[in-house]
Amino acid sequence: MSSTDLRQTPLHALHVELGARMVPFAGYEMPVQYPSGILAEHAHTRAAAGLFDVSHMGQAFLEGPDAARRFEALAPTDVATQPIGRLRYTQLLNESGGVLDDLMVARRPPRKAGEELLFLVVNASRKEDDFAHIRRLLPDLRLGELGDRALLALQGPKAASVLARRWPKLVELPFMGVASGAELGETGADYLVSRSGYTGEDGFEISLAASEAEVFARSLLREDEVRPVGLGARDSLRLEAGLCLYGHDLDETTSPVEAGLLWSIPKRRRAEAGFPGAARILREIAEGPGRRRVGLRLEGKAPAREGAEIVDRDGAAIGRVTSGGFGPSVGAPIAMGYVASAKAAIGEAVDLVVRGKKLAARVAPMPFHPHAYFRGP
């Protein structure tokens, strides 16, 4: 794809002005890092507040009669009893229980009597396929892609105090809570704010009109605690937090059980079984999956990247690394990958094959860096 085919987010000019290195990502020209560099941006997010442009992600409304329960036919989550004002993480599944995408779902107050309204945020790389899939399976519901909206994330221990200067009520928003700008006392523009993110830190994701995004981003960057953070640190932060990246740690062959995402499938859905691939997923719940996503800590300093083969200490292949690199806050190389369940116990000694050499590693608990989500005042 040539650079002229790449789409730009509403903050493109600001990224360039800030000196970002722009790279192609999921069809968009995105900032991979700013002049301070990935390590500094990573550390700043863990210590203060990092501002991320994630406007490439797909935002959409799904609405119509009984939209919540209807959506449950596509994903093993509980939207039917999900309160308005809560955000949930789930996966779109194929008929064999593989993950088509992972996404966030919020319920919002319906815009028409007798209807229900869901707000969805999906991965940039998957959005066209996801929206086609939803339209195909739920043709009588209305899916409205919000292509005219930006999405910003403010992440880190200072994120709440920074945003509270604008919206004092925000400090009370629970982890995975959602509030509109109006609920926060905003009189003008139409914001949707959730206490969520992809870094393991406390933080917020803010959906707003594309036309408002640059002014809003500049206002945050004027705060002492806030610095811009690119996709490079977004990746190292989420890896340390043990969070999956679609297309790497999740794909159409992996099930949520193998991926260690069973916590996102509530009891009612397991009991009722009405979701794609339920036969495989319920069997894996009962019998255990054949392979599991695990964390890996390397004993040396050399990192292992995606694709590295994982072998047991007898040299037998047991799996592959799906994400790996240097963990800046851990101060050592870390990775995640899938291994045969018999070799998935914490502490299991394995080798990761990098450039023909075996790097000693151990199966390790995730997250690699402790989560610091908001757990109440």
Residues that bind another protein (CB under 8 A): 32-33, 37-39, 42, 232-233, 235-236, 301-303, 305, 325-326, 328, 333, 355
Q: How far is the CB of 265 from another protein (least distance, A)?
A: 33
Task: Kindly tell me which of 111 and 305 has the beta carbon lying closer to another protein.
Answer: 305
Residue 17: which residues within 8 A CB-CB, separation 6 or more? none
Q: How far is the CB of 43 from another protein (least distance, A)?
A: 11
Task: Kindly tell me which of 209 and 330 has the beta carbon lying closer to another protein.
Answer: 330
Q: How far is the CB of 221 from another protein (least distance, A)?
A: 21
CB 79 within 8 A of CB 63: no
Task: Kindly tell me which of 4 and 187 has the beta carbon lying closer to another protein.
Answer: 4
CA 361 to chain centre: 26
Q: How far is the CB of 368 from another protein (least distance, A)?
A: 15
Task: Kindly tell me which of 191 and 326 has the beta carbon lying closer to another protein.
Answer: 326
CA 181 to chain centre: 23
- State how far the Cα of 76 lies from the Cα of 53, in Å rounded to an integer: 29
CB 315 within 8 A of CB 376: no
Tell me the backbone φ, ψ of residue 193, rounded to 5 degrees.
Answer: -120, 130
Query: Following CA atoms 36, 39, 40, 43 in sequence, which dihedral angle do they give, to the nearest 10 degrees?
Result: 160
Q: How far is the CB of 16 from another protein (least distance, A)?
A: 15
Tally the C-alpha atoms within 13 A of residue 324's C-alpha that lie toward its C-beta.
30
Q: How far is the CB of 255 from another protein (least distance, A)?
A: 29
Task: Kindly tell me which of 133 and 248 has the beta carbon lying closer to another protein.
Answer: 248
Task: Kindly tell me which of 232 and 277 has the beta carbon lying closer to another protein.
Answer: 232
Task: Kindly tell me which of 243 and 257 has the beta carbon lying closer to another protein.
Answer: 243
- State how far the Cα of 15 lies from the Cα of 10, in Å rounded to an integer: 10
- State how far the Cα of 82 lies from the Cα of 313, in Å rounded to an integer: 46
Q: How far is the CB of 371 from another protein (least distance, A)?
A: 21
Residue 174 tokens read as: 């629970």
Q: Determine the angle formed by the axes of helices 231-240 and 38-47, rounding to 10 degrees.
A: 60
Q: How many CB atoms lie within 10 A of CB 196?
A: 24
